[in-house]
Amino acid sequence: MRKVVDNILNNDQIKQLISFAQNDLTNHVTNHAGYVVPRRYTNEQWKYVFTRYDQKEFIDIAESINTAFPDFDIVSLRTMHYSKGASMGIHTDSSDEREGLSDHGLIIMLSNSNEFTGGDLIMGKELMTLNMGSGVMYSYVGEPHAVTPIKEGTRWIASVRLLRK
């Protein structure tokens, strides 16, 4: 199951998420499952920067996501920053008890498409084009996806793990 939804987040919410990720943050955050985990890390293989958030840090953003997807609970909210050369190989998401049990993912585009080249989101065999603030929700079952290498600029997304109520 895949569902594209426009205008999940507004420009102010997007700026807030990106600004927060670019500033000095605490080294750790308590996740939905109650574990204290590193807030930020760089994936050495794919070169993207991953930042975790506590839902209490962005209540209005959580409310916007909950409004768009009322049949789901937010398990985790993260941003991923892709700069030149960064990518994500083909993979299928799965639930991780240490992150909190989840069964769906949501990718929300935080960048304008004119801010980067490359960085295409491919789900299954389909090229997904998302406008800034829009997203695609997908089931973990049967939804392999990847991001092609960034050629120029930077690409920001919000990566949200969801659990059907």
Task: Decide if 56 is inside a domain.
Answer: yes
CA distance 158 to 126: 20
Inside any domain, residue 159: no
Q: Is residue 31 part of a domain?
A: yes
Higher pLDDT residue, 99 or 11? Answer: 11
Can you give the CATH number for the domain in which 26 is found? 2.60.120.620
Q: What was the pLDDT predicted at 99?
A: 83
Report field, pTM of the whole predicted structure over 0.85: yes
* Contact criterion met (CB below 8 Å) for 142 and 122: no
Q: Average pLDDT for residues 150-161, to the nearest whole number? A: 97
Enclosing domain of residue 71: 2-153
pLDDT digits (tens, 9 = 90+) for 106-143: 999 999 999 999 999 999 999 999 999 999 999 998 89
The whole-angstrom separation of Cα 123 and Cα 125 is 6
More confident residue, 137 or 34: 137
What is the average per-residue pLDDT within 148-156?
A: 98
Residues whose CB falls within 8 Å of the CB of residue 117, separated by 6 or more in sequence, listed in order: 150, 151, 152, 153
Residue 132 falls inside a structural domain: yes
pLDDT digits 0-9 by tens, 43-89: 999 999 999 998 788 899 999 999 999 999 999 999 999 999 999 99
The answer to whether residue 13 is domain-embedded is yes
158 found inside a domain: no
Question: Domain count of the chain?
Answer: 1
